[in-house]
Amino acid sequence: VLLFKVFKTRQYTQNNAFVGNRINGLEPIAPRDEFELVDNEKIDWHDYEKINADALRRGPGEQGKPAYLSSSENQDYDKLYKVNGFNAALSDKIALDRAVPDIRNSGCKTKKYLKQLPSVSVIVPFHNEHWTTLLRTAISVINRSPPHLLREVILVDDFSSKEFSKKPLDDYLRANLTKVRVIHLPERSGLIRARLAGAREAKADVLIFLDSHTEANVNWLPPLLEPIAQDYKTCVCPFIDVIQYETFEYRAQDEGARGAFDWEFFYKRLPLLLEDLKHPTEPFKSPVMAGGLFAISKKFFWELEGYDEGLDIWGGEQYELSFKIWQCGGQMVDAPCSRVGHIYRKFAPFPNPGKGDFVGRNYRRVAEVWMDEYADYLYMRRPHYRNINPGDLTKQKALRERLHCKPFKWFIENVAFDLVLKYPPVEPGDFGVGEIRNLAAPELCVDSGFKERDQPIGLQECVSDTKKRGEQNFTLTWHKDIRVKGKPLCFDVSDPNDKADVVLYPCHGMKGNQYWKYDVPFSLLSFVGKAVVPSRGNPRCLDCDPGQKRLFVTTCDEKSKTQKWRFENVNLT
Ligand code: UD2
Ligand code: MN
């Protein structure tokens, strides 16, 4: 009754700002009612009837509890795992409209939002998505959105080959979910152009993009829409929860962080500001989005000319849009009271569609257009990007010019202001370089002996010819790890027991099992690591048995000679 009343009293002004306007050479955008906020009244948007009904549901995966296949249900497990990268056989056993746990900050449960909110088109690109995860995405959106706010759900089929994606899907939707329709693309276009195709047909005020294996949580919509109703240049992301790929358990990723990246363009997270922590239910500013899940007003999206259409298949579009939003006069926030679950796949099941290094090319396009001199920090780490032809960028550069977008330096100094502290663009020099020689047996050096991941390393006769020293050449980096020169492998100790082996493991730069310190006055190389077993905790020190040429870590002892090591070159500054 309440929702009906809201619908009736909603007010719009007629303002067909986009009529006949061809933007960016795309299809003309349909005449539209433009949303304008005229009423600041706030209401409780919870659908208590639905919430109470959900609370009673029992069965596999209900309430987001982990689920398992019985042995008789297991036949399709491998086959479906391989093509999806998650446990799709289990997905088929879980109700399409299962209940998920309401894990929002408790303050969200009493929060009110504007009664007058804009309408929504939800756009979901998919390529060979498994049918039950795809339908669960659509159904969770329909069931947890106020009907009069949700205008449509547009699935964009990016040339899937699975039979279900074609006529059976159309038929199913026509019979069961009339608000949902599919655009079938005639060729593989990649997720970016698929989203653009959906956005071009969207009729509502706000576009919400979702991945095709997501589940919307309780009252997810109002917190995403209110900041946009207040300022159409604000783009809003929900918290992304984790749907575990094996059990479909629904759980929180964390209680929020600001989105960022490192200089290889890996998505990273920066801590919340003290100010944000004081208001755990309020939207907070975030430098970049994770990519797949966000709400943006259709007006602002097209003022920014959507995505760069030259971005192919997958990757980089989250940076392009984030930089564009901030640099061209908008802002991005995360809304803690809006939560959407996402299946982070165990592995990407798609073969490269024969398009070469499309991620590198996408990154190059984004860097060239938006990052100014900072692009070099990316190229320093990926020198081959300099040789990738990014293709034609005139449209993107003209847009930047036309909208008077700010320089990337402004973005780094004002929006992602703590990024360079955590991810220095130019990494400080190495602390120690060269051979690591034992002082009790000075003819012996640490030797990585062509060992690989998970294999223990030991000692060998030192090689005096520096040119032949490949396996006795290490760096103690500013990350505080010890790297095998020229390989992405680090000294790693995961065994908490005394005299644990030192093994090689891919460097992660996050301390943990790879955290070392060189104590120059005592010549001790101590493994700071994690204190796994408190009584035998760290630090432990690098020690050896010269007779067996064995290397291990044990309790530090400044007097032990076998614990003394000389790093060939040490940088004391
Ligand atoms: C993340 C984002 C994703 C996107 C990507 C970078 C989240 C939760 N996910 O990776 O949305 O920003 O980073 O590009 O933030 N798809 C197509 N055509 C393709 C490939 C993918 O339609 O050629 C669809 C796919 O079915 C899915 C969406 O695009 O719905 C995103 O792909 P993903 O799930 O493989 O990306 P993900 O979550 O690893
Ligand atoms: Mn995804």
Backbone angles phi and psi of 171, in degrees to 5: -65, -45
Please tell me the number of the ligand nearest to residue 155's CA: 1
Could you tell me the CA-to-CA distances from 67 to 48, 54, 253, 269, 342 in Å, in that order? 26, 17, 19, 30, 16
Backbone angles phi and psi of 534, in degrees to 5: -55, -40
Cα 342 to ligand 1 centre (Å)? 11
**H or E stretch including 9?**
helix 2-9
H helices, E strands: number in the chain: 16, 27
> What average pLDDT does range 20-31 have in this prediction?
39
Distance CA 556, CA 504 (A): 21
Q: Give the closest residue (by CA) to ligand 1 atom 8.
A: 292
Establish whether residue 289 lines the binding site of ligand 1, counting it when its CB lies within 6 angstroms of any ligand atom. no
Which atom of ligand 1 is nearest the CA belonging to 289?
15
Cα 183 to ligand 2 centre (Å)? 19
**180-184 and 150-157 strand pairing:** parallel
Residues 200-242 pLDDT 10s: 999 999 999 999 999 999 999 999 999 999 999 999 999 999 9
ipTM: 0.99
Residues 529-563 pLDDT 10s: 764 444 456 788 999 999 999 999 998 888 999 99
Cα 431 to ligand 1 centre (Å)? 39
Cα 343 to ligand 2 centre (Å)? 6
CB 198 within 8 A of CB 125: yes
Residues 63-102 pLDDT 10s: 999 999 998 888 899 999 999 999 999 999 999 999 999 9
Establish whether residue 127 lines the binding site of ligand 1, counting it when its CB lies within 6 angstroms of any ligand atom. yes
Backbone angles phi and psi of 291, in degrees to 5: 135, -55
Q: Give the closest residue (by CA) to ligand 1 atom 7.
A: 292
Cα 126 to ligand 1 centre (Å)? 8
**pLDDT over 90 for what percent of the chain?**
79
More confident residue, 183 or 431: 183
Structure confidence at residue 55 (pLDDT): 98
Establish whether residue 193 lines the binding site of ligand 1, counting it when its CB lies within 6 angstroms of any ligand atom. no
Establish whether residue 190 lines the binding site of ligand 1, counting it when its CB lies within 6 angstroms of any ligand atom. yes
Establish whether residue 318 lines the binding site of ligand 1, counting it when its CB lies within 6 angstroms of any ligand atom. yes
* Residue (of 337, 338, 275) closest to 106 by Cα position: 337
Concatenate the DSSP letters of all residues of 123-185 into one string.
Answer: EEEESS--HHHHHHHHHHHHHTS-TTTEEEEEEEE-S--SGGGTHHHHHHHHHH-TTEEEEE-
Residues 122-147 pLDDT 10s: 999 999 999 999 999 999 999 999 99
- Kindly report the pTM of this predicted structure: 0.80
Instruction: Check whether 114 has a pLDDT greater than 80.
Output: yes
> What average pLDDT does range 471-475 have in this prediction?
94
In sequence order, which residues have a C-beta less than 8 Å from that of residue 529 and are 6 or more positions away? 493, 512, 513, 514, 515, 538, 539, 540
538: left (phi over 0), alpha (psi -120 to 50) or beta: beta
Report the residue among 154, 191, 237, 340 best suited for mutation to probe ligand 1: largest number of ligand atoms under 8 A from its CB: 191
The upper half-sphere exposure of residue 198, i.e. CA atoms within 13 Å in the direction of its Cβ, equals 29
Task: Tell me the average pLDDT of the chain.
Answer: 91
Cα 216 to ligand 2 centre (Å)? 14
Residue 441, token pair as written in the block: 């047996």
> What average pLDDT does range 497-503 have in this prediction?
93
Residues 289-341 pLDDT 10s: 999 999 999 999 999 999 999 999 999 999 999 999 999 999 999 999 999 99
Which atom of ligand 1 is nearest the CA belonging to 291?
12
Structure confidence at residue 12 (pLDDT): 33
Distance CA 194, CA 128 (A): 13
More confident residue, 37 or 527: 37
Structure confidence at residue 427 (pLDDT): 79
Distance CA 472, CA 260 (A): 36
Q: Give the closest residue (by CA) to ligand 1 atom 12.
A: 291
Backbone angles phi and psi of 307, in degrees to 5: -90, 160
Q: Give the closest residue (by CA) to ligand 1 atom 16.
A: 191
> 392 forms bridges with which residues in the sheet?
none
Establish whether residue 191 lines the binding site of ligand 1, counting it when its CB lies within 6 angstroms of any ligand atom. yes
Please, which contacts does 253-257 make with residues 24 or more away whose CB atoms are closer than 8 Å? 255/105, 255/280, 255/336, 256/280, 256/284, 256/334, 256/336
Structure confidence at residue 504 (pLDDT): 96
Residue 22, token pair as written in the block: 């061809």
Band of residue 573 on the pLDDT scale cut at 50, 70, 90: low
519 by DSSP, 3-state: which?
Answer: strand
Provide the greatest CA pair distance for the chain.
Answer: 87
Structure confidence at residue 534 (pLDDT): 46
Instruction: Check whether 7 has a pLDDT greater than 50.
Output: no
Residues 173-199 pLDDT 10s: 999 999 999 999 999 999 999 999 999
Establish whether residue 430 lines the binding site of ligand 1, counting it when its CB lies within 6 angstroms of any ligand atom. no
Could you tell me the CA-to-CA distances from 76 to 90, 98, 138, 169, 338 in Å, in that order? 9, 22, 24, 21, 34
More confident residue, 20 or 553: 553
Q: Calculate helix-pair angle for 167-176, 131-143, nearest 10 degrees.
A: 20
Instruction: Check whether 26 has a pLDDT greater than 50.
Output: no
Please tell me the number of the ligand nearest to residue 315's CA: 1
